[in-house]
């Protein structure tokens, strides 16, 4: 091809036009994206978005219409997530600048927790809200970052208690055990009738870890509530603390006394709930709030709870677990409306409504020692101030990793892959891991 | 260089290519027309691939050198600290070996069973179409759903143990998913069950390309079924085998849903693989840096093994074709 100076100029012009066209296209795309990301300013006509756990849907289905009726112009659009989806979706939405105005948060330091999201600057400071004074004092710190309140607590439950079928107990003349040896006798009695005495999901790391920490309330933490601080400062270890060895020994003692099903080592959380709901098992050792899932499967079941008993009744303590809360996105365009909603659900009745669907104790009821019927067996611990916050589950820096690694190791006690010494060593290694 | 050749009647001009083939003038003009298509027509396609595939991968890879937790935008450069951390963790070494061993066992079993099924279902059975569909069906199912179904089947009070008890083999009843050996075998069984249909289809396609005359000729020469398979069918299946083995190696190395649904990586990490470790570090523990470092190691393991295997299989193909 023969090139001329005019041809070169034409070519240069074409290139320039292409470059301008491309730049315009990119700019148009960017503008479009910006438009997508923008949101309306705060006003009386606000649409609040809400990211919540699926379990709270029944309670919010009742409360949201009430709130919208009281506050014409404010609409709430909730999206419900299962825990695994939530953990991946909500932090990503925050990072992408597309967070929900109201958002569910785990208490403490887990992956989708107040501490993590608060430290990242994703949560609004709610310290000046009127409902702060009604938060449950023992767990309030789990909703704070650097002394600032970042979420409204939704309730508490037992970290791990023994739920039981009251009809079966009364029909067979069985009573709540008050000592550990009575618990072993109870297991023998139920086992002799061909039933699984205690449903324990050893296939779930969280259940294993929470149950052992709960047993340690009696063998260690009740008498030494500051043990975790000693551990974190390096002056104590799991392996060197007899109370932890004793708690793990109790697991083996229960296993030996046929408290668990022969296949407990592989039982998952859902299978455990199914065993208890279906009447295969007469007791279930886990987080008290999980009774909500049991009652969904078996609404006719009558359930009560007792704390895992110590060797002597007076040494029994109860660990309580904060159930999570609702916070406000720091970049929300509708902060005032979002705070209005938190104020609304902080009413005594509304708070109880929201807690009751998940078989939780509302913060106000916990303060007033007004426990739901299912929790009556745990009332003495609230009255006698023998409750502990489950710091080993929600307050340590790498709580999720600690729970998973320790729980996996505890499963080894069931399968025979681990000894008590090995589990204690694994727990020391797990807590030392950098977050 | 191509050379121009004019035919004796001078009516047609051919351009002889270096490889000896020839293109007519019409084709040449068509190529010239194609050559006039502006080069920037490829921009949308290339940009899409770059932006949607490679850029996120590279961006994800950079997290391996930071301490990003997944919350907020704050991240600090940590150099190779994440690699040091994951490589010093004994769980990583175990996961690497488990990933490789599981993948190798899976590739062998799923291909042997796939070939056996393909050869069997090539026979003139009336029900062969139905049987092919039935064997292929598991491949179409959700991997996670399949894992949950098998978890139910293998539960202590599940159908497998019930069957053993019913036939008087109660002594064999096991807690299948909480034994370190049986749990990994259960993962292997589920993987094989799900992917056998795929290998069967690949080998059936390979078998279809083999001329029946070769089979008949071998029969006339007095070859037994085994001899025909070994000396005629198997060598000619080499191209299908390259595809099936490479695909199943990649699936085997990347097995995730089946493990999470069936054992969750337990008992005591005895079914943890690199894929489950990546997920755990990243999304369960929020350690995006360590998760990305593991993912890069994982990508290297997969690339080295699959490319190496593919090269070996291609060489085998060429050797067999000579």
Tens digit of each residue's pLDDT (9 = 90 or more) over A361-412: 999 999 999 999 999 999 999 999 999 999 999 988 888 899 999 999 999 9
Which of B175, B269, B285 faces A266 most closely, judged by CB atoms?
B175
Interface check A278 vs B, CB under 8 A: no
- pLDDT bracket for residue B28 (50, 70, 90): low
- Residue A77 has which token pair? 């659009």
pLDDT at A25: 46
The whole-angstrom separation of Cα B183 and Cα A406 is 20
Question: If residue A247 lies in a helix (H) or strand (E), which one and from where to where?
Answer: helix A242-256
A266/B267 Cβ within 8 A: yes
Q: Tell me the pairing of strands B13-16 and B3-6.
A: antiparallel
Contact of B139 with B225, CB cutoff 8 Å = no
Which of B179, B268, B283 faces A418 most closely, judged by CB atoms?
B268
Which of A92, A262, A417 faces B267 most closely, judged by CB atoms?
A417
Local confidence pLDDT in tens for the 435 residues of chain A: 334 444 444 554 555 445 444 444 444 444 344 433 334 444 467 899 999 998 888 889 999 999 999 999 999 999 999 877 887 788 888 888 899 999 999 998 887 788 888 988 999 999 999 999 999 998 999 999 999 999 999 999 999 999 999 999 999 999 999 999 999 999 999 999 999 999 999 999 999 999 999 999 999 999 999 999 999 999 999 999 999 999 999 999 999 999 999 889 989 999 999 999 999 999 999 999 999 999 999 999 999 999 999 999 999 999 999 999 999 999 999 999 999 999 999 999 999 999 998 899 999 999 999 999 999 999 999 999 999 999 999 988 888 899 999 999 999 999 999 999 999 999 999 999 876
pLDDT at A14: 54
Query: Mean of the pLDDT values across residues B104-115?
Result: 97
Higher pLDDT, B136 or B283: B136
As a whole number, the mean pLDDT across chain B is 86
Query: Mean of the pLDDT values across residues B6-23?
Result: 46
B266/A119 Cβ within 8 A: no
Q: What is the chain A residue with the closest CA to B82?
A: A434
Interface check A218 vs B, CB under 8 A: no
pLDDT at A116: 85
The whole-angstrom separation of Cα A264 and Cα B38 is 68
Which of B156, B180, B284 faces A404 most closely, judged by CB atoms?
B284
Contact of A164 with A305, CB cutoff 8 Å = yes
A266/B155 Cβ within 8 A: yes
Question: What size, in residues, is chain A?
Answer: 435
Q: Is the peptide bond before B281 cis (omega within 30 degrees of 0)?
A: no
pLDDT of B177-193, one tens digit each? 988 899 999 999 999 99
Q: Which residues of B touch A417 (CB under 8 A)?
A: 180, 267-268, 270
B85/A203 Cβ within 8 A: no
CA distance B300 to chain A (A): 25
pLDDT at B34: 60
B156/A261 Cβ within 8 A: yes
- Residue A420 has which token pair? 């008590």
pLDDT of B57-109, one tens digit each? 888 889 899 988 777 777 889 999 999 989 988 888 899 999 999 999 999 99
Quick one: DSSP state of residue A231?
A: H
Interface check B30 vs A, CB under 8 A: no
pLDDT at B19: 47
CA distance A69 to chain B (A): 35
Interface test with A, best of B47, B63, B70, B150 (most A CBs within 10 A): B70
pLDDT at B5: 45
Interface check A146 vs B, CB under 8 A: no
- pLDDT bracket for residue B7 (50, 70, 90): very low
As a whole number, the mean pLDDT across chain A is 89
Q: Which residues of B touch A411 (CB under 8 A)?
A: 178, 266-268
A417/B270 Cβ within 8 A: yes
- For residue A296, how many other CB atoms are within 10 A of its CB? 13
Q: Tell me the pairing of strands A318-322 and A74-81.
A: unpaired
The whole-angstrom separation of Cα A58 and Cα A363 is 19
| Secondary structure of residue A154 in the 3-state scheme | coil
pLDDT at A109: 85
- pLDDT bracket for residue B3 (50, 70, 90): very low
A415/B286 Cβ within 8 A: no
If contacts are CB pairs under 8 Å, which of residues 364-403 in chain A contact chain B? 398, 400-401
Higher pLDDT, B27 or B231: B231
- First-to-last CA distance in chain A? 65
**What CA dihedral angle connects A279, A285, A288 and A289, to 10 degrees?**
-70
CA distance B315 to chain A (A): 44
pLDDT at A313: 95
pLDDT at A44: 63
A and B: number of Cβ contacts within 8 A: 106
A411/B178 Cβ within 8 A: yes
Quick one: DSSP state of residue A376?
A: G
- Look at residues A208, A287, A281, A216 and name the one whose alpha carbon lies nearest to residue A246: A216
The whole-angstrom separation of Cα B306 and Cα B10 is 54
Q: Which residues of B touch A95 (CB under 8 A)?
A: 70-73
A180-192 and A242-256 helices, crossing angle to 10°: 20
Report the predicted TM-score, pTM, of the whole model to 2 decimal places: 0.82
Interface check B172 vs A, CB under 8 A: no
Question: What size, in residues, is chain B?
Answer: 322
Interface check B290 vs A, CB under 8 A: no
């Amino acid at each position: 091809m023969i090139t001329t100076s005019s041809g070169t100029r034409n070519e240069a012009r074409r290139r320039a036009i292409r470059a301008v066209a491309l730049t315009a296209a990119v700019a148009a795309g960017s503008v479009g994206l910006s438009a997508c990301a923008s949101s309306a300013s705060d006003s009386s006509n606000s649409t609040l978005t809400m990211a919540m756990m699926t379990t709270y849907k029944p309670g919010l289905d009742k409360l949201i219409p009430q709130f919208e009726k009281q506050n014409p112009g404010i609409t709430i659009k909730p999206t419900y997530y299962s825990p695994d989806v939530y953990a991946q979706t909500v932090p990503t939405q925050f990072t992408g600048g597309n967070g929900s105005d109201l958002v569910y948060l785990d208490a403490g330091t887990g992956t989708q927790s107040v501490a993590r999201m608060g430290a990242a600057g994703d949560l609004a400071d709610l310290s000046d809200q009127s409902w702060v004074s009604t938060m449950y004092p023992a767990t309030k710190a789990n909703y704070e970052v650097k002394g600032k309140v970042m979420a409204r607590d939704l309730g508490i439950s037992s970290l791990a208690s023994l739920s039981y079928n009251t009809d079966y107990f009364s029909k067979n003349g069985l009573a709540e055990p008050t000592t550990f040896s009575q618990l072993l006798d109870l297991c023998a009695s139920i086992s002799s009738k061909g039933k699984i005495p205690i449903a324990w999901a050893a296939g779930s790391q969280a259940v294993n870890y929470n149950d052992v920490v709960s047993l340690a309330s009696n063998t260690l933490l009740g008498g030494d509530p500051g043990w975790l601080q000693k551990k974190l400062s390096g002056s104590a270890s799991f392996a060197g603390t007899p109370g932890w060895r004793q708690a793990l020994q109790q697991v083996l003692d229960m296993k030996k006394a046929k408290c668990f099903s022969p296949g407990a080592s592989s039982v998952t959380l859902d299978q455990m709930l199914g065993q208890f709901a279906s009447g295969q098992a007469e007791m279930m050792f886990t987080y008290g709030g999980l009774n909500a899932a049991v009652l969904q499967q078996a609404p006719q079941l009558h359930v009560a709870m007792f704390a895992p008993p110590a060797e002597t009744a007076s040494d029994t303590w109860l660990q309580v677990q904060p159930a999570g809360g609702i916070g406000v996105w720091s970049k929300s365009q509708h902060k005032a409306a979002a705070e209005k909603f938190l104020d609304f659900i902080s009413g005594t009745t509304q708070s109880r409504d929201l807690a009751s669907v998940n078989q939780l104790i509302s913060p106000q009821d916990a303060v007033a020692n007004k426990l739901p019927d299912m929790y009556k067996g745990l009332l003495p611990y609230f009255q006698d101030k023998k409750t502990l916050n489950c710091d080993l589950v929600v307050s340590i820096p790498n709580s999720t990793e600690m729970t998973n690694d320790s729980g996996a190791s505890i499963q080894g006690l069931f399968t025979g892959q681990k000894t008590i010494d090995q589990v204690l060593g694994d727990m020391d290694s797990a807590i030392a891991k950098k977050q | 260089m191509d050379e121009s050749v004019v035919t004796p009647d001078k009516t047609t001009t051919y351009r002889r290519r270096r490889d000896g083939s020839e293109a007519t003038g019409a084709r040449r003009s068509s190529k010239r027309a194609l050559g006039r298509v502006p080069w920037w027509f490829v921009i949308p396609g290339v940009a899409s691939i770059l932006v949607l595939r490679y850029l996120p991968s590279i961006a994800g890879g950079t997290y391996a050198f930071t301490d990003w937790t997944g919350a907020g935008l704050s991240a600090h450069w940590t150099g190779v600290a994440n690699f040091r951390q994951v490589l010093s963790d004994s769980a990583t070494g175990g996961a690497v070996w488990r990933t490789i061993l599981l993948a190798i066992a899976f590739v062998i079993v799923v291909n042997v069973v796939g070939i056996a099924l393909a050869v069997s279902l090539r026979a003139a059975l009336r029900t062969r179409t139905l049987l092919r569909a039935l064997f292929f069906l598991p491949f179409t199912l959700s991997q996670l759903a399949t894992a949950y179904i098998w978890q139910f089947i293998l539960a202590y009070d599940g159908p497998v143990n019930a069957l053993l008890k019913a036939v008087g083999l109660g002594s064999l009843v096991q807690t299948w998913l909480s034994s370190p050996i049986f749990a990994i075998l259960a993962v292997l069984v589920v993987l094989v069950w799900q992917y056998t249909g795929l290998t069967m289809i690949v080998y059936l396609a390979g078998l279809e390309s083999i001329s029946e005359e070769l089979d008949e000729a071998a029969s006339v020469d007095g070859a037994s079924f085994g001899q025909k398979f070994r000396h005629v069918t198997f060598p000619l299946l080499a191209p299908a085998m390259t595809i099936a083995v490479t695909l199943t190696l990649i699936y085997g190395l990347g097995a995730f849903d089946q493990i999470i649904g069936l054992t969750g990586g337990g008992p005591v990490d005895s079914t943890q693989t690199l894929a489950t470790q990546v997920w755990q570090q990243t999304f369960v523990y929020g350690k995006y840096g360590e998760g990305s470092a593991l993912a890069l190691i994982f990508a290297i393991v997969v690339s080295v093994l699959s490319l190496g295997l593919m090269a070996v299989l291609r060489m085998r193909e060429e050797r067999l074709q000579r």
